[in-house]
Chains A and B, each alone.
Chain A
Amino acid sequence: MKGRRGTPNQDRSMSRTFFILAVLTALLLIYAGYAALVIAPTEQTMGPVQRIFYYHAPSAWTAFLLFFINFIASVQYLVRPNESADRFARWAAIAIGVISCIAPFFIPLPAGIEPSAVATTGVAVTAAYFLIHKYFSDQGADILALVTAEVGVVFCTIVLITGPLWARPVWGIWWTWDVRLTSTLVLWLIYVSYLMLRRFSTSGETPKLAAALAVFGALDMPLVYFSIWFFRTQHPQPVIGGGGSIDPRMLRVFALNCLAFTCYAGIICWFRYRIERMQRDVEETRALEALLEPRGAGSRGLQ
């Protein structure tokens, strides 16, 4: 993706790959939806409304994943022009991966947080950093940040809508200002403001300002995730990796929906990335045309 545009043959094979993956993702989504509504057993206490969980939690997982990629891409966009900052960020990414693989097995963690989960997250930071560094140019990292923020906001909106729809019949209220719910709303507002900044600011520094906002916005993510461990919240405690238990059939359906939503988000991001690339190509060509236009050609029309 580092090149500006591929050859027609590359474009055609990319389109074919995209089409095949899109069809497979659509089939996976249909089956995952069927599994959530029909195959998964009905929860005894909450009844059918518990099935909202199969869309609510995978949407939250996908939104987090996208905001995480947005964070890594934004960091890269900020540090790449400065060689020493770039080198420092690379070593920091390696250090995060190494420390997170060793430290959790020696330092006591809060109840419910598995050392393997911390290690996996740390390795994911390192891997994502180097993958984005390898496959995306400066402009590519900027587009990736924009695309993941936009698609992430769509998934976060779903989380904020399906959550209250589950809460009303189960808790008896639509919303409560507890830490998990409020920090999720703040996270959504941060990324909406990020998109508004990118949409309405015309300054040449907009991508840099947006990247800085995204880096600070990402600080809210650990707060959202760990809020149910560190604060007394009304939001249910995690049943997966949090000491709770779940029917294996429910777990399978949940994992299937997570996979389907992740694939869907990947396809949408790919499509959105292509649109943004094309849009920037059009804008560049128009700007170039305006520069090459003979002097006086524009003013002649005014006479």
Chain B
Amino acid sequence: MMFLRIAYAAVWIIQGTYLAVLIRRYFRVRRDMDELERK
């Protein structure tokens, strides 16, 4: 049971981390785009 829990936790930690990286990148690009539009 311990291995099962670790495996499922690992899957969602990896997916969650990647998703967080993508969201951060999205907001950074949006900020850059807004800055360019203001210019």
Q: Is the interface of A mostly helix, strand, loop or mixed?
A: helix
B1-18 vs A, CB cutoff 8 Å, 1 = contact: the mask equals 101101110110011001
Partner pick for A157 among B8, B14, B19, B22, CB 8 A cutoff: B14
Q: A278-B29, A281-B33, A282-B36 are in contact. Are A52 and B14 (CB under 8 A)?
A: no
Asked if A184 lies at the interface with its beta carbon under 8 angstroms from chain B, I say no
CA distance A48 to B8 in the complex (A): 12
Partner pick for B29 among A55, A264, A279, CB 8 A cutoff: A279
Number of interface residues of A (CB under 8 A): 31
Residues of chain A within 8 A (CB-CB) of B32 are 282
A positions within 8 Å CB-CB of B: 33, 37, 48-49, 51-52, 55-56, 59, 154, 157-158, 161-162, 165-166, 168-169, 264, 268, 271-272, 274-275, 278-279, 281-282, 285-286, 289
Interface residues on B, range: 20 to 34
B18 touches A154 (CB 8 A): yes
Residues of chain A within 8 A (CB-CB) of B3 are 49, 52, 165-166, 168-169
Could you tell me the distance in whole angstroms from the C-beta of B4 to the nearest C-beta in chain A? 5
CA distance A100 to B29 in the complex (A): 44
Partner pick for B19 among A158, A268, A279, CB 8 A cutoff: A268
B10 touches A282 (CB 8 A): no
A154 touches B15 (CB 8 A): yes
CA distance A154 to B10 in the complex (A): 12
A161 touches B22 (CB 8 A): no
Partner pick for A272 among B1, B7, B8, B22, CB 8 A cutoff: B22
Partner pick for B4 among A52, A59, A154, A286, CB 8 A cutoff: A52
Residues of chain B within 8 A (CB-CB) of A166 are 3, 7
CA distance A235 to B26 in the complex (A): 39
CA distance A268 to B26 in the complex (A): 12
A275 touches B1 (CB 8 A): no
- The 4 A-B pairs at the shortest CB distance, nearest first, are namely A165-B7, A52-B7, A278-B29, A162-B7
A271 touches B14 (CB 8 A): no
